[in-house]
């Protein structure tokens, strides 16, 4: 293969090798340095960075153009916006809550590093960069445990703040609403999200088609959502 163009090198997400080798060292340097340049040690418990109206690109450019440590509000805002998404990605692909938490932490640390170093070619596409980095890091399960140990040892669980997951803390509400569903819909949800059965497996269990299962699942989860009162735009 030919040499990759210089600007492409600069904009691509870092490889897993690069990340596992470089990121912890740089992040450790930043986190432990006087002045705590890695300012994702955010204002604990506060989501208000005063930047909620800014686009992702504006936030990213703000970080890239500022001296180290001078864009704390932007870094906080970037973390607030994306940590939850990376965590979800981690839960989906790593199937482990702790590993997903670690992934979110490391991906955001790496992203801030790259922004500060001018290694994100297009800050307007910072979401794509973060996704690419998430894929790189999550893809290497063999290195995952080593990275987790490294992060735990080096970062001393800095105080990070991200938007909380959509609240379903009220399990009683989920329980009540789950039992308000039709029996078949309830069973589809339980078999899907607890027993982790596929549509064909559930279809065989219920004596229906896979399409019926998928439609029932969509409908049931929407009803559950309405009943529990989970907020957010649902329909265009």
Partner 1 sequence: MTDMRCPAPIGFADVVDYWAGELTRSEEDRVEEHVFRCAACARELAAAEALARGVAAVVREGRLHTVVTDAILNRLAADGVRVRMYTLEGESVVPCAVWAGDDLVVTRIRADFAGVDAVSIVTRQASGDEIGRISDVAVRPGQREILGAFSAAHLRALPATRVHVSVTALAGSGGSGERTLAEFTLEHGGAFDRPSGVQ
Q: Kindly state the tokens that stand for 216.
A: 């029932």
Count CA within 13 A, CB hemisphere, residue 77.
Answer: 21
Does 233 bind partner 1 (CB under 8 A)? Our answer is: yes
CB of 204 to partner 1, least distance (A): 8
Closest CA to 45 of 72, 80, 86: 80
Q: Is 117 in the site for partner 1 (CB under 8 A)?
A: no
Q: How far is 148 from 167, CA to CA, in rounded Å?
A: 27
Nearer to partner 1, 158 or 225 (CB): 225
DSSP state letter for 125: G
Pick the stretch among 40-48, 68-76, 146-154, 186-194 that binds partner 1 (CB under 8 A). Answer: 186-194
Could you tell me the two tokens for 160?
């990070």
Among 145, 159, 165, 209, binds partner 1 (CB under 8 A): 165
Please report whether residue 189 would count as binding partner 1 according to CB under 8 A. Answer: yes
Residue from 33, 153, 180, 182 touching partner 1 (CB under 8 A): that is 182
Q: What's the Cα-to-Cα distance from 208 to each of 17, 163, 186, 203, rounded to whole Å?
A: 47, 40, 15, 5
Tell which one of 32, 52, 152, 209 touches partner 1 (CB under 8 A): 52
Nearest-approach distance from CB 72 to partner 1, in angstroms: 19
Determine the Cα–Cα distance for residues 211 and 93; give it in Å rounded to an integer.
24
Q: Shortest CA distance to 13 belongs to which of 189, 131, 151, 176?
A: 131
Q: Is the Cβ of residue 33 or residue 166 nearer to partner 1 in the bound state? A: 166
Tokens for 6? 């210089």
Query: Judged by CB under 8 A, which stretch of 20-28, 36-44, 145-153, 164-172 contacts partner 1?
Result: 164-172
Site for partner 1 in 195-224 (CB under 8 A): 195-199, 205-208, 214, 217-218, 221-222, 224
The pair phi, psi for residue 180, each rounded to 5°, is -85, -10
Whether residue 56 contacts residue 126, with contact meaning beta carbons closer than 8 Å, is answered with yes
Residues that bind partner 1 in the complex, under the rule CB under 8 A: 52, 54-57, 81-82, 84-85, 88-89, 91-92, 125, 127-128, 130-131, 165-168, 171, 174-175, 178-179, 182-184, 186-187, 189-199, 205-208, 214, 217-218, 221-222, 224-225, 228, 230-236
């Amino acid at each position: 293969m030919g040499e990759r163009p210089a600007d492409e090198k600069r904009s691509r997400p870092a490889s897993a090798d690069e990340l596992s080798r470089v990121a912890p060292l740089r992040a450790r340097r930043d986190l432990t340095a006087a002045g705590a340049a890695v300012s994702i040690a955010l204002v604990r418990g506060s989501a208000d960075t005063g930047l909620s109206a800014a686009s992702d690109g504006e936030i990213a450019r703000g970080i890239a153009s500022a001296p180290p440590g001078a864009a704390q509000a932007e870094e906080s805002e970037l973390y607030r916006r994306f940590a939850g998404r990376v965590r979800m990605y981690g839960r989906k692909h790593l199937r482990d809550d702790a590993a997903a938490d670690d992934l979110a932490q490391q991906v955001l640390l790496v992203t801030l590093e790259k922004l500060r170093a001018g290694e994100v070619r297009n800050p307007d596409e910072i979401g794509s960069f973060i996704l690419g980095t998430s894929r790189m890091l999550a893809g290497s399960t063999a290195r995952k445990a080593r990275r987790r140990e490294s992060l735990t040892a080096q970062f001393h669980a800095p105080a990070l703040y991200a938007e909380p997951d959509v609240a379903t803390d009220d399990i009683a509400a989920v329980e009540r609403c789950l039992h308000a569903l039709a029996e078949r819909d309830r069973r589809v949800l339980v078999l899907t999200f607890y027993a982790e059965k596929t549509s064909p497996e559930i279809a065989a269990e219920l004596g229906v088609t896979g399409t019926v299962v998928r439609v029932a699942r969509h409908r049931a989860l929407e009803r559950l959502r309405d009943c529990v009162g989970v907020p957010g735009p649902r329909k265009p």
